[in-house]
Copies of this chain bind each other. A is one copy, B any other.
Amino acid sequence: MKIYIHTKFEENEALLIKEQLSEKYKIVIGEEIPAEKREEEFLSASICFGNVPLAWAQKTTQLKWLQLHSAGLDPYQQLTDHTFKITNLKGFFGQSVAETAVAGILAMYRGVNHLTQLQMQTKWVGTPLRSTLHLLNNAKVLVLGAGAIGLKVRDLLTGFNCKTTVLDSKTITQLEEHLPTTDIVVATLPETPETIGLFNKERLHLLKCTALFVNVGRGSAVDEQALIEMLLNNQLYGAVLDVTATEPLPDDHLLWQMHNVLLTQHTSGGWANENIDKIKFFLENLSRFECGEALVNIANLARGY
C-alpha cells in the first residue's frame, strides 16, 4: 500500500515517518521527488497525508483516506462525489492559537509591543508609560466559537479573574447583546457561510471605544475596512490580528503602520514541535485505519470544520 506525503517536512521529520512506516508501506514524500512526478505518485496512492491541490483530489480513484495537515477545510468543501475519507487537524492547534491570543491581549494591555518598539530605538521612557497600561484583571471577555481554540482561551484566562463568555454556533444569536459591554472580543471562528462577514460595520460599531478586537479565526469574519476606520478614529482601543483578508499582507496595507494593531502573521498555530506532533497524530490515526476503527477528526465538509 502506498502512502503519499504532501507536507513540507524537515529531514529529521521525514526520517521519523520513514522509520515508522517503511516496513509496511511504500512511502513517497513529494518534496523529495521532482515536482512534475508528484501528481502521478499521488494518484496511485491509497493514503495521503497533506493538503494536495484540489484538482488532484478531484481526480484520484485510488485514494481511500486523505489526512489534511490543517484544521481548515478550504478548498476541499468543493469536493463532490469523492469516495475517500477526509480527516483534518481539528483541535490540534487549540493550545497554540489560544496562547497567541492571550499573548496578544497581554502585549496590548501591558505595552509589550510599544516597549519593543522603544527597545529598537534605544529609547528609555519608563514611568510615564505606566499610566498608558491596562490590567486584564476584571475584564469582560467575549469568546466567539466553542471549538478547541475558544474553549482553550477560556481555560487560559482562568487565573486572570475575567468575566468570560463563550458563544457557540447556537448562542451566537446573542452576539449583539454582548458587544456593547465587552472589553475584549476574541474571534476563533472557522470560515463558514454563517461566519463570513459576521463582524460587519454595524456590529463593530456596537463595541466600546475602549474595546480590544482579537481575531485568531479567519480574516473573512470581519469587515476589515470598517475595522481599520474605527482603529484610525480611535473608536476601538486596538486589534490583535493573526488573520487578515489577504495573506501575506501587501506591503502598502494600512494595517502595517497602525500603532494600535498587533499583526501575528498567521503564526498562532505554530510551535517548535508542530510537525513532529502532526506526524504523531497521523501515525495514531493510521493505526486506527489499519484496524478498521473509526478515524479521529472526520471532516464535515458541509459544515466547514
Contact = CB atoms under 8 A, between A and B. Distances in A.
Interface stretch (A40-48, A132-140, A178-186, A218-226): A132-140
A270 to B, nearest CB: 2
Interface of A: 95-96, 99-100, 102-104, 106-107, 109-113, 115-120, 122, 124-127, 129-137, 155-160, 247-249, 251, 256-257, 261-272, 274-275
Contacts of A247: 126
Contacts of A137: 95, 99
A106 B109 contact: no
B129 A270 contact: yes
Contacts of A124: 248-249, 265
A152 to B, nearest CB: 9
A103 B110 contact: yes
Given A99-B135, A133-B271, A125 B265 contact: yes
A303 B91 CA distance: 50
B115 A117 contact: no
Given A99-B137, A102-B106, A115-B262, 4 more contacts: A100-B110, A119-B261, A129-B267, A129-B270
26 contacts: A99-B110, A99-B136, A99-B160, A103-B103, A107-B107, A107-B112, A112-B112, A112-B264, A113-B113, A115-B262, A115-B263, A115-B267, A116-B116, A119-B261, A119-B262, A122-B257, A125-B265, A126-B267, A127-B266, A129-B265, A129-B270, A130-B271, A131-B272, A134-B271, A156-B159, A158-B158
A166 to B, nearest CB: 14
Nearest to A251: B122
